[in-house]
Amino acid sequence: MQNEDGDTMKVGVLAFQGAVREHIDMLSKLGVTAVPVKKREDLKDISGLILPGGESTTIGKLLRDSGLREEVIKMAKEGIPIWGTCAGMILLAKHIVNQDYIHLGLMDIWVRRNAYGSQIDSFIRKVTVPSISSFPLELIFIRAPYVEKVGEGVEVILELDGKIVAVRQDRLLATAFHPELTDDLSFHKYFLELTKN
Ligand code: GLN
């Protein structure tokens, strides 16, 4: 896949923690150069950024300590697509209802951390997500958040049992589950579409 200058498109994956390798492999399968991002220089010339799952508190701290937080906020304001999976959704939120601080504060969503509680803190469901694919996709939830409320301009991509689990606001995408842990590329394809004008 090429960017508007005809070069192979580069997409970054924040690489502090979590399912980094899996996202990189999926992007590579789609013909994109996937770059692990740990410092400011790694963001150079990237057309999109994925914030993987992990522990949002830890990733948020490393974002601040590395100076990447401001850079990522700037990128989002410039319209570069960013996709957060699970902990990444928490990082993107402007509101975390059960925590008194936020991280990047970019999406108008009210997120609840560890929302499914300890009984069912990990589970898998197979559902069709109409804007993403015409066939059922495996959705893997691991100590996942969900979205309790969305602000204006936020599109709800998927509600599962009355809970919002996938949202989009302009070029920002957030999923409570982990498409990178499946072998289906539909969500990654959808994200790469956001990099086009
Ligand atoms: N429970 C984690 C958090 O609050 C997210 C879990 C995940 O990314 N799989 O950050």
Tens digit of each residue's pLDDT (9 = 90 or more) over 144-190: 999 999 999 999 999 999 999 999 999 999 999 999 999 999 999 99
Closest ligand 1 atom, residue 55 Cα: 10
| pTM, full prediction | 0.96
Distance 131 CA to ligand 1 centre (A): 25
Q: Which residues have a Cβ under 8 Å from the Cβ of 23 and sit 6 or more positions away?
A: 13, 34, 50, 52, 85, 180, 188
Model confidence at 2, pLDDT cuts 50, 70, 90, reads: confident
Annotated catalytic, 178? yes
Distance 98 CA to ligand 1 centre (A): 13
| Residue of 86, 148, 152, 159 marked catalytic | 86
Distance 145 CA to ligand 1 centre (A): 7
Distance 5 CA to ligand 1 centre (A): 37
197 pLDDT above the threshold of 70: no
Nearest CA to ligand 1 atom 1: 143
Closest ligand 1 atom, residue 52 Cα: 8
| Residue of 22, 23, 180, 188 marked catalytic | 180
Percent above pLDDT 70 for the chain: 99
Task: Tell me the mean pLDDT in the region 117-138.
Answer: 91
Considering the chain, what is the average pLDDT of its residues?
A: 95
Closest ligand 1 atom, residue 57 Cα: 10
Model confidence at 119, pLDDT cuts 50, 70, 90, reads: low
Structure confidence by residue, pLDDT tens digits, 7-58: 789 999 999 999 999 999 999 999 999 999 999 999 999 999 999 999 999 9
- CB of 87 within 8 A of CB of 61? no
Closest ligand 1 atom, residue 59 Cα: 10
Residues having CB closer than 6 A to ligand 1 are 53-56, 86-87, 90, 113-114, 142-143
CATH superfamily for domain 10-113+146-194: Class I glutamine amidotransferase (GATase) domain (3.40.50.880)
Three-state SS string over the chain comes to: CECCCCCECEEEEECCCCCHHHHHHHHHHCCCEEEEECCHHHHCCCCEEEECCCCHHHHHHHHHHHCHHHHHHHHHHCCCCEEEECHHHHHHEEEECCCCCCCCCCEEEEEECCCCCCCCCEEEEEEECCCCCCCEEEEEEECCCEEEEECCCCEEEEEECCEEEEEEECCEEEECCCHHHCCCCHHHHHHHHCCCC
